[in-house]
Amino acid sequence: MKSWYKKFILVAFSLMLVLPLSVNAAGAAEKPTLTAEQISERLSEIGNSYEVGQLLSDEDAEFVKTYALKPASTGAIAPLSAKTGNFEGGLGYVELTGTVTVDLGIINNSISGNLMVRDSGQTYHKSMGSTAELRCFGVFGEGGTGIGLVYSKDYSNSGANVNYNKNVFSDGFTASVAYYTVDVRGLVDGNSFTATAN
């Protein structure tokens, strides 16, 4: 009977040690559900918090890996394919429409865009325009264990006392890109609004 009692105590003690660890591990695996706007805001915040060539924190790198766009590979050695986003957004009577194309290669890359902001009521504004923020992240460190900012540029255009503004841009850049974000916003009279890709 004493051996049964010892086995019971040993099993109970073992369960007490293992059970809290498995509950914590299950709770740690759950990720909060984020909206598209929250994801976009956080990616923009991360992209604007670092200088080109700077390594991201582990937490920021994990967020970028999870939510940023990844180049679509068309083959093992072939250049990566271009991605075009058709953007729309608005604030009151002010509307933004247009496209942004990001074409990523192995090293040579390009971006082009054609964005139009207009007031559908044809009201003139003190300022009106748009901006497209491109943030590219690549692999850093020995063995490619880190993620860092490899390219960052804003493509903006605005006008004064206008009821429309066109932002046309084209640019080439050299970087090895693993993840990227494009944040398009309309600007009107000191306010900004997000345009989403559809």
pLDDT tens by residue, 37-90: 899 899 999 999 999 999 999 999 999 999 998 886 544 333 444 677 888 888
Q: Are residues 139 and 162 in the same domain?
A: yes
Question: How would residue 144 be classed by pLDDT, with cut points 50, 70 and 90?
Answer: confident
| Whether residue 21 is found in the same domain as residue 40 | no
| Residues constituting the chain | 198
Exposed, middle or buried by CB within 10 Å (0-12, 13-18, 19+), for 145? exposed
Neighbours of 169 (CB within 10 A): 16
Q: Residue 4 — very low, low, confident or very high, per pLDDT cuts 50/70/90?
A: very low
Read off the DSSP letter of residue 88: E
In angstroms, the CA 165 to CA 163 distance is 7
Decide: helix, strand or coil at residue 78: coil
User: Which whole number is the average pLDDT over 7-32?
Assistant: 44
Same domain assignment for residues 13 and 52: no
pLDDT surpassing 50 at residue 26: no
- Return d(Cα 65, Cα 71) in angstroms, integer: 12
Q: Please check whether residues 20 and 112 belong to one and the same domain.
A: no
Q: How far apart are CA 132 and CA 182, in angstroms?
A: 7
Question: Per-residue confidence at 181, pLDDT binned at 50, 70, 90?
Answer: very high
Claim to verify: residue 53 and residue 120 sit in the same structural domain: yes
For residues 7 and 86, state if they share a domain: no
Q: How confident is the model at residue 198 (pLDDT cuts 50, 70, 90)?
A: confident
pLDDT tens digits for 78-115?
344 467 788 888 899 999 999 999 999 888 999 999 99
Provide the pLDDT for residue 82. Answer: 61
**Contact predicate 193/185, CB 8 Å:** yes
Q: Where are the strands (E) in 141-190, listed by range?
A: 146-162, 164-174, 179-188
Q: Does pTM surpass 0.85?
A: no
Cα dist from 41 to 46, 188, 193, 194, whole Å: 9, 19, 12, 10
pLDDT in tens, 151-171: 999 999 999 999 999 999 999
Range of the domain at 5: 1-30
Do 26 and 61 fall within a single domain? no
Q: Are residues 40 and 26 in the same domain?
A: no
Residue 28 has what pLDDT? 47
- For the chain, how many structural domains are there in total? 2
Q: What are phi and psi of 34, to 5 degrees?
A: -115, 145
Give the pLDDT mean for 18-25. 39
Task: Please indicate, yes or no, whether residues 70 and 145 belong to a single structural domain of this protein.
Answer: yes
Q: Indicate if 191 and 98 belong to the same structural domain.
A: yes
Q: Are residues 48 and 128 in the same domain?
A: yes
Shared domain for 78 and 126, answered yes or no, is: yes
Report the pLDDT averaged over residues 177-186: 93
